[in-house]
Amino acid sequence: MKTEEQFKALSVNEFTRAADRYETEHAGVYNICKKDYPDILEEVKKEPFKTLLDAGCGTAPMLSLLTKDFPDKQFTGIDITPKMIAVAKAKRLPNTTFICGDCENLPFDDASFDVIICSQSFHHYPNPKNFLQSANRCLTPRGRLILRDMTMKNPIVHWFVNNLELPLLNKFGYGDVHCYNQTELQTLCDQTQLTLERFEQRKGMKLHAVIRKNTSVL
């Protein structure tokens, strides 16, 4: 079993290689990420907000869309891969700040963001509990985390992916750690005093979740 730092190093190496083609027609497997953007945008629009963090922002494809639809809001993107952040910064998006950092230890003040989005990044975190605790701290009261990832209802498929497919991908230089089902995500939310408000498995084994900061817990 790889250590947390080994998993993170794999992810940095993987996305350093992918950064220049991540948003092109030659993105390969990363083209599946593009299917998340409309659903995230729809979810963001459901509630008013002033500040938004994209955790695992990559080259900022989602923030590029959001800055067009919400030109008066403040945006921040964080990613662990320096090359991804370099490409994102080169876009010079308005009202947007980019930081190279670890999503498991968000370097922001308490209650900094009304919304945190996380798309196809969560399954790369070796300690997802740290990320959720950090997100909880950084969210404003009643703030929400919009999470998109991969999930499997079938327990056999879930076992196969996490015990055979992802370890095989690790051998080929990919930093995938674990894909979560509803029970696992609920447990993580319980442990971090967050409310799993909605969990859906959408077409293509897509996880769509809305996680709420629980203001009743002091």
pLDDT along the chain (218 residues), means of 10: 92 94 85 90 97 98 96 98 98 98 98 98 98 98 97 95 96 96 98 97 95 75
Q: Is 4-213 a domain of CATH 3.40.50.720?
A: no
Domains of the chain, residue spans: 4-213
pLDDT value at position 216? 60
Dihedral over Cα of 146, 33, 127, 138: its sign? negative
Per-residue confidence (pLDDT) for residue 217, from 0 to 100: 47
Which tokens sit at 127?
A: 């300690």
For residue 65, the 8-state DSSP code is: H
Query: Where does the chain show beta strands of DSSP type E?
Result: 51-55, 74-79, 96-100, 113-119, 139-150, 194-202, 206-213
Structure tokens at 195: 């409310």
Q: Give the pLDDT confidence score for residue 215 in this predicted structure.
A: 74
- In the chain, what is the straight-line distance between the N-terminal and C-terminal CA atoms, in Å? 36
Q: DSSP secondary-structure letter at 122?
A: G
Taking the C-alpha atoms of residue 155 and residue 157, their distance in angstroms, rounded to an integer, is 5
SS3 at position 192? coil
Burial class for 213, CB neighbours closer than 10 Å (0-12, 13-18, 19+) = buried
Degrees to nearest 5, angle at CA 182 with 176 and 187: 90
Residue 145 to residue 117: CA distance in whole angstroms: 6
> Contact 162/178 with Cβ under 8 angstroms?
yes
Q: Which of 30, 26, 34, 90 is nearest to 65 (CA)?
A: 34
Q: For residue 24, what are the contacts with CB-CB under 8 A and spacing of at least 6?
A: none
Residue with tokens 């009304």: 114
Query: Which pLDDT score is estimated for 174?
Result: 94
